[in-house]
Structure 1
Amino acid sequence: MTTSHIPPITEDDIAQFLTNTPGFFERHAEVLASVQITSPHGARAVSLQERQAEMLREKIKGLEQRIMEMVRNSTENATIAHKVHQWTSALLEVKDPFDLPQAVVDGLRTLFDVPQAAVRVWDVAGPYIDADFTQGASEDARAFASSLTMPFCGPNLGFEPAGWL
Structure 2
Amino acid sequence: MIDMETAMNPDGAGYWYADQDTPGSVDVLNALRAYRAAEAEMRRRTRDSMKMNETDLLAIRYAMRAHKAGHCISPKDLSRMLKISTASTTGLVDRLVASGHLIRRPHPTDRRSVEIIPTGSADTEVRETLGGMHKRMLEVAESLTTEEALHVTRFLERMTWAVEQEDPPHHP
Please indicate the TM-score interval, normalised by the length of the shorter structure.
under 0.3
> Given the two structures, how large is their TM-score scaled by the length of structure 1?
0.26
Q: Which entry has the higher C-alpha Rg, 1 or 2?
A: 1
Q: Which has the higher contact order (CA 8 A, sep 6+)?
A: 2
**TM-score, normalized by length of structure 2?**
0.25
